[in-house]
Amino acid sequence: MAFAGHVGVALNVDLLVTEGDGISDSRAEYGDAKNWAGQVGARREELTLKALFNEELGVVLQVRTAERNEVMQVLRTHGLSKFSHFVGKTRPADSTIDVGKGEVQVWRDAKSVFSAKLQDLHQVWDSVSWKICQQRDNPACADSEHAAAGDPADPGLHVFVPATPPAAPFVSTARPKVAILREQGVNSHVEMAYAFTEAGFDAVDVHMTDLQSGRHDLAAFRGVVACGGFSYGDTLGAGIGWARSITFNPVLSQQFQSFFGRGDTFGLGVCNGCQMFAELADIIPGAQAGRASPPTAANASRRAGDGRSAGVAQPVLAGMAGSRLPIAVAHGEGYPDFTQRGDEAAVLRAMRYVDNHGQPTERYPFNPNGGAGGLTAVTTPDGRFTALMPHPERVFRNIQMSWTSGDPSAHSPWMQIWRNARRWVG
């Protein structure tokens, strides 16, 4: 808990080592009882270790001091007071108490029996995982991640949204159709459909076989979304195989070109869909100039990880400039590769990974793909077609976020993407 919260803790184990230990605690002020602590010291040391490394079922709760009695009353009501003890206090960085900041302390019999810096303990705790990652993944990224473990200067994960309030949900009762496009192996279409429906769209499940057989035609839609997942199990070059099912089919190729060429349409490609959009750049107006090889190169870390991102683009990212938001990342191949084709300078960056200080970074674990400047999303000059590797559709509610101070039952700031799209459609 101290590692996750970046806070020091001061633990008092007196109650844990006294309960049921068979040691009388008379503390009498006469005779040998004056040396009680010394007489039973070895036994107390043994019980301290048993208490701290107890493998029995239990729960540690952190509660506000002002609510402590109320919590205990609830436990008493359920017959749990006998098994409940106050075991310590936190020492956050902004605490008014200087002693113990950034440390883990263990107190017993009014004495400190253990004290160590939180950073040192975190480094030791992470060392086994670090050594495994050095052998299994990119050693440089493993070293970077280990160095960040317990960094006292790290402000931690946070949510920042500019002071400008987001646009209200669009009030029109019309529900424009958006094609929730998927292929074999795609697994994020349900979340994506839900988010679009919440924003006022008529989300239609469209499998590629529906387009190939003529059951659906993109001419009937205002938006198309290529969802994330593992199309064809990523065995055909991530999203490249998906794109080839379009470019190698004259009917589908013309249908997509017509859709992209209309001025009243928009498109969003996420994860595998981002890779698919990148491969279709030649038929997406405005995408050709900054075209890169599809982001199918393995992440520099050789792993998929969590991320924080910020973005600016129309129509889906309008009003979100400067935002710093946690986002779900699940791609093992997302490095933006410009070595084979494309002009990195011409790419219109829509989103980038940032560290916990809000600075664009290539450093793992803040940037799982290793792209220069944190690049993880691109868009066309008019913003109608945007491709991104992380998954905003998996965090459009606060309760889905890695961490947030917002109302858990409310939409997260990421919901602005779908509301922007609905407002743009009109």
User: What positions carry a catalytic annotation?
Assistant: 271, 391, 393
Strand partners, 411: 397
How far is it, in rounded angstroms, from Cα 264 to Cα 284? 14
Please give the structure tokens belonging to residue 338.
């410009």
